[in-house]
Structure 1
Amino acid sequence: MNGVYIILIRVDSACRHRIRIGSLGMVMLTPGIYAYVGSAMNSLKTRIKRHASISKRLRWHIDYLTTHGCAKVISAVYAATDRRVECMLSCYLAEQHHAPFKGFGSSDCSCYSHLYLVNGLDDVLAVFKRCNLDAVVLYEEQ
């Protein structure tokens, strides 16, 4: 299945130090909920499952965040589509939410970032709706 997704990651308030994010170098994590926008033009659910795993080879910027001890994937939302709308979702998030790191997840496009500080799941569902995509919440931490 092809599509786009947004992973929600909670960064614990105990985490107030710098971590290495691949080629971005050392960054300061602020406690809160982060939304990471991605796409998979095959194996959408496998990609989401990989992001939620804490044991993996570090390949993408998001891998460095999701394997850090003070970060936890708390939700995943996706929409099956053959349209390339990853950057559109990102732009809509950027209109109302802070992107803390330039270039995070966006090294292959012209977006400032694909990672945003958000309030929660409702913010994510709103951008899927704005893109006329049928969002599916794959899981949500209770």
Structure 2
Amino acid sequence: MTDAPGTYALLLRADEASEIEVGALGKMEVRPSAYVYVGSAFGPGGLQARVARHARGDGALHWHVDYLRAVTTLEAVWYTHDPERRECTWAEVLRARPGATVPLDGFGASDCDCPAHLVRFDPSPLFHTFREFVQAVYPDHKPIRQRTPAEEM
């Protein structure tokens, strides 16, 4: 992962039930399950800086996902250094997967018309299935890679 721009998905795991307040969106019930949050990083520091900040899970509560990070564990990051913004496409693909639910309308989607950029799953979605589907539907898509917290973000 470099400081180039791109799109990423955080695969998060909640082990306990809780309720969080997500800024102006209001309350969200967090159930023990997998959550996938999709975002993009086109500013200074690109993917490397944005994902590192989310991986640490500290700092000011700036993005919707910061509230969720306080009660979840980061399991993996899927990312692409594609210069085209792909976050809405990725979120749409994830929402269409069997068993996917949107836990809070508008989560992560304050700057677009998507229902949400956060999807809940049980069990967790598989990286290779997601990657193969996206690259089959969008053949011009740059490669999608995966990192785990054990690897440098």
* Fold in common (TM above 0.5): yes
Q: Which moved more, 1:101-110 or 1:124-133?
A: 124-133
1:74 and 2:78 aligned: no
Judge conservation of contact 1:9–1:74 (CA < 8 Å) in 2: yes
> In the alignment, which residue of structure 1 is the partner of 2:139?
none
| Counterpart Cα distance in 1 of 2:146 and 2:134 | 16
> In the alignment, which residue of structure 2 is the partner of 1:25?
26
TM-score by length of 2: 0.81
1:38 and 2:13 aligned: no
Q: Kindly provide the amino acid, as one letter, of the partner of residue 107 in structure 2.
A: F
CA RMSD in angstroms comes to 1.6
Structure 1 residues without counterparts, runs of 5 or longer = none
The aligned runs of 1:62-101 (5 Å cut-off) are: 62-68=65-71, 71-96=72-97, 97-101=100-104
| Counterpart Cα distance in 1 of 2:73 and 2:8 | 17
Q: Deviation per CA, 1:92-113, whole angstroms, max 9, x where unpaired?
A: 1111211111000001111101
Identity %: 31
| Counterpart Cα distance in 2 of 1:83 and 1:37 | 14
Q: CA deviation at 1:84?
A: 1.3
| Residue in structure 1 matching 2:145, options 116, 136, 140 | 136
| Counterpart Cα distance in 2 of 1:20 and 1:85 | 27
1:48 and 2:57 aligned: no
SS of equivalent to 1:131: helix
Judge conservation of contact 1:6–1:35 (CA < 8 Å) in 2: yes
Judge conservation of contact 1:11–1:72 (CA < 8 Å) in 2: yes
TM-score by length of 1: 0.87
How many residue pairs are counted as aligned between the two chains?
136
